[in-house]
Amino acid sequence: MNWKFASIAALAAVMTASTALAQTAKDTLTIDLPNDAATLDPQLQWDTDSYTIYRNIFDNLLTRDASGKIVPQIAKSWKYVNDTTIQFDIRDDVTFQDGSKLTADDVVYSINRIISPDLKSPQLSQFDQISKAEATNPTTVVVTTKSAYPALLAQLVKLSILPKAYVEKVGGQTFNQQPMGSGPYKLVQWQKGVQTELQANDHYWRGKPPFAHVFFRAVPDVSTRLADLKTGKADLVRDLPSDQAIDLKSDPNSQVLSVPTERVGYIYINAQAGATKDVRVRQAIAYAIDKKGLIDALLQGFGSQVNVLGAAPIFGYTDKVEGYPFDPDKARALVKEAGAEGAKIEFLTSPSYDRAMVEAIQQMLNDVGLDTEITSLDQATFLKRRQGDPANAGSLALGKWSCACQDADGIIFPLFRTGSSWAKYSNPAYDKLVDDARSTLNNDQRLQDYEKAYGILKDDVPGLGLYQVDAVYGASKHLKWQPSPNEAMFVMDMGWQQ
């Protein structure tokens, strides 16, 4: 009898241990984002929420390690043949999620598709120095640029590799709805406005993904994101306002993860339509904004003031161009001089941006005689209007820009160069400087050109740099993850511990 009881007890202990092990295993990771993806085609929009999701579906030609260094991914290695030609050696052990082999033809297709004017990619300005890509054999790709292009590798960090045969078979619209790549996770379902479900790619070439399922949920309200985290409904939430992050530090089941980034908080100002077409009104806006007050009151240590639209990690950033001091009296005088007292100023925003900061800026502008009205949009509509014609692009918008390239070519070139979908501004002298800076390998000359370009932007005010952004996340205390300055939310880099 004792033996029987001992055996039963031993069996019960084993079962209890097995149950405990099953309970500690984490099968599903749930991430709350401020917005739904605007697209899952990685060559269309490049907003943070879209990128967060689709970057886990695709591999890129190159990537960055935790220190920010450019390292191989689909390209094993590369070498410059001359100033305008670079050769990439492509991995031969990668398959797409349908089992087909990734080859140099897929890399060539991905490059040539994004530089095609027919695609009308919002990312075109970051790749348009590439004239062509060719496959010389199944594992070698040669890329030719129109001139020497110093930011080429930094831009190619963002190039996702698409399956040529699949995209050509299903077409661009279906590909956006049902993307397929070679990355660690594959799409199960995209419920627009609600959530995107991904499933682990069990045949991923870099190893087994850490979670079998990942849900990215669109949760615009920050209070709801926080409640989801505290109750265990979410394991990771993005884009916490500073005051909420500080409060979260006292929650025993959560942690705050933050890192200074290359992203810059700024105000876009429409220089081609409405009251802000007058440079005096744009300068008045610059004088009216108390940057230090905004940063101290609303960022509370999660960000630092900048005078230009750039930050220290960015090549081409300068601290030699002075910013506008806070001078509301000067702002009122300029508004009056421009005959703009009571002028309508439409301020576009979305849930991606801190509502308290938008409202604080609105009050500052109204205090100097403007009539500022906030128009709140979902992120996809916000982006469409910002990239549309000047008459419908609003007078102002708060932005947080990053190119993930750590180069001014990926920041002030797409934002302000004549012809860019983002630019509502044109100045030939500025255009020449940024064109020259992206077509020489002479770094000293590039720095000189960017300093002059920043000086022109300071005078013309088509945008106003406010602060260097800290990426701030709330996470379960069990999540193992170190955020990076390029804000990449790669699930492959995450883990779980009890």
Residue ranges of the chain that CATH labels 3.10.105.10: 260-469
Q: Three-class SS of residue 153? A: helix
Q: What is the pLDDT along the chain (498 residues), one digit of tens a residue?
A: 344 433 434 444 434 333 333 334 699 999 999 999 999 999 997 788 999 999 999 999 999 887 778 999 999 999 999 999 999 999 999 999 999 999 999 999 999 999 999 999 988 888 999 999 999 999 999 999 999 999 999 999 989 999 999 999 999 999 999 999 999 999 999 999 999 999 999 999 999 999 999 999 999 999 999 999 999 999 999 988 888 999 999 999 999 999 888 889 999 999 999 999 999 999 999 999 999 999 999 988 888 999 999 988 889 999 999 999 999 999 999 999 999 999 999 999 998 888 999 999 999 999 999 999 999 999 889 999 999 999 999 999 999 998 878 899 999 999 999 999 999 999 999 999 999 999 998 999 999 999 999 999 999 999 999 999 898 999 999 999 999 887 889 999 999 998
DSSP state of 195: E
| CA atoms of 382 and 396, how far apart (whole Å) | 12
Q: Which residues contact 482 (CB under 8 A, 6 or more apart)?
A: 66, 257, 493
Nearest of 168, 148, 151 to residue 159 by alpha carbon: 151
Buried b (16+ CB within 10 A) or exposed e, 290-320: bbeebbeebbeebbebbbbbbbebbbbbbee
Half-sphere exposure for 313 (CA within 13 Å, toward CB): 24
Q: Three-class SS of residue 403? A: coil
User: If 0-12 CB within 10 Å is exposed, 13-18 middle and 19+ buried, where does residue 107 land?
Assistant: buried
Nearest of 203, 349, 339 to residue 284 by alpha carbon: 339
Look at the chain and count its residues: 498
Structure-token pair, residue 367: 């205090």
Q: Three-class SS of residue 481? A: coil
CATH number of 260-469: 3.10.105.10
Q: What is the CA radius of gyration of the chain?
A: 25
Residue ranges of the chain that CATH labels 3.40.190.10: 28-38+173-259+471-496
Which CATH architecture fits 58-165?
Answer: Alpha-Beta Complex (3.90)
| Residue written as token pair 């089941």 | 253
Contact 162, 109 (CB under 8 A): yes
> Hey, what's the torsion of the CAs at 286, 290, 296, 302, to 10 degrees?
-10
Contact 228, 234 (CB under 8 A): yes
| CA atoms of 47 and 24, how far apart (whole Å) | 34
Q: Write the class of the CATH domain 28-38+173-259+471-496.
A: alpha beta
Nearest of 290, 246, 283 to residue 470 by alpha carbon: 246
Note the pLDDT of residue 300.
86
The DSSP element (H or E) to which 284 belongs, if any, is helix 279-288
Nearest of 400, 398, 245 to residue 311 by alpha carbon: 400
Contact 102, 95 (CB under 8 A): yes
The DSSP element (H or E) to which 457 belongs, if any, is helix 443-460
**Taking phi first (over 0 means left), then psi (-120 to 50 degrees means alpha), and beta for anything else, what does residue 4 get?**
alpha
Nearest of 256, 242, 233 to residue 31 by alpha carbon: 233
Beta bridge partners of 348: 375, 397
Q: Kindly list the distances between the CA atom of residue 35 and the CA atoms of 179, 222, 242, 358, in Å, as whole numbers in the listed order.
A: 19, 11, 19, 17
Residue ranges of the chain that CATH labels 3.90.76.10: 58-165
